[in-house]
């Protein structure tokens, strides 16, 4: 009997409204899941990028004693060390290593470790690096090892 009842416009409108509401809910769910996925993707990319940067930093830091040994050998006149040290330093610099070894630069306690000092000149604006005793290094802007310096002023 009820199945034989004619479908009214009101019934069709109610069914359409129900389907439209269901569609809107599915669309909202899809948009939410899509936004969550985009956030997850960005977080994963950042985490991977941070991990790669940390790994590079650790490798560079582990190679600092090798660079120091090459510098010491070159200063002692050992032949054949300069090209190898230069190539190693060049590759590390291309990957993000920065050398901290500038004489006459203003002393910066974030970049320099004062091991010695000497009196400054009259009119000198603050302490400056007079001599680099041990080269310092940074990796993509983060100091791995401060330069050991003699400070003037």
Question: CATH number, domain at 142?
Answer: 2.30.22.10
**Other beta carbons within 10 Å of 95:** 13
Residues β-bridged to residue 106: 128
Q: Is the dihedral of CA 143, 145, 146, 147 positive or negative?
A: negative
Shortest CA distance to 64 belongs to which of 153, 138, 116, 13?
Answer: 138
Considering the domain architecture, whether residues 87 and 142 belong to the same structural domain is answered as no
Considering the domain architecture, whether residues 28 and 83 belong to the same structural domain is answered as yes
Residue 122, pLDDT > 80, answer no
For residue 84, the enclosing domain spans: 1-95
CA separation for the pair 151, 56 (Å, rounded): 31
Shortest CA distance to 93 belongs to which of 130, 144, 129?
Answer: 144
Considering the domain architecture, whether residues 91 and 134 belong to the same structural domain is answered as no
pLDDT value of residue 2: 57
Reported confidence tier of residue 125, pLDDT bands at 50, 70, 90:
confident
Query: How much is the average pLDDT of 132-138?
Result: 94
Quick: pLDDT tens for 71-118. 899 889 899 999 999 999 999 999 999 999 899 999 999 999 999 999
Considering the domain architecture, whether residues 106 and 60 belong to the same structural domain is answered as no
pLDDT value of residue 3: 64
The strand order across the sheet containing 112-118 reads 112-118, 147-152, 128-134
Reported confidence tier of residue 5, pLDDT bands at 50, 70, 90:
confident
Start-end of H helices in the chain? 9-75, 81-95
**Other beta carbons within 10 Å of 87:** 10
Quick: pLDDT tens for 26-83. 999 999 999 999 999 999 999 999 999 899 999 999 999 999 999 899 889 899 999 9
């Amino acid at each position: 009997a009820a199945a034989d009842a004619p479908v009214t416009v009101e019934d069709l409108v109610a069914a359409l409204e129900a389907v439209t509401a269901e569609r809107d809910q599915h669309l909202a769910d899809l948009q939410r899941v899509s936004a969550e996925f985009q956030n997850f993707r960005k977080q994963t990319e950042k985490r991977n990028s941070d991990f790669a940067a940390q790994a590079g930093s650790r490798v560079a830091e582990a190679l600092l004693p090798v660079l120091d040994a090459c510098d010491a050998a070159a200063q002692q006149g050992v032949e054949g060390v300069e090209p190898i040290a230069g190539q190693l330093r060049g590759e590390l610099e291309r990957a993000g290593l920065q050398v901290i070894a500038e004489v006459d630069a203003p002393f910066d306690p974030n970049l320099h470790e004062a091991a010695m000092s000497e009196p400054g000149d009259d009119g000198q604006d603050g302490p400056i690096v007079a001599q680099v005793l041990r080269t310092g290094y940074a990796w993509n802007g983060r100091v791995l090892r401060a330069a050991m310096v003699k400070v003037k002023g």
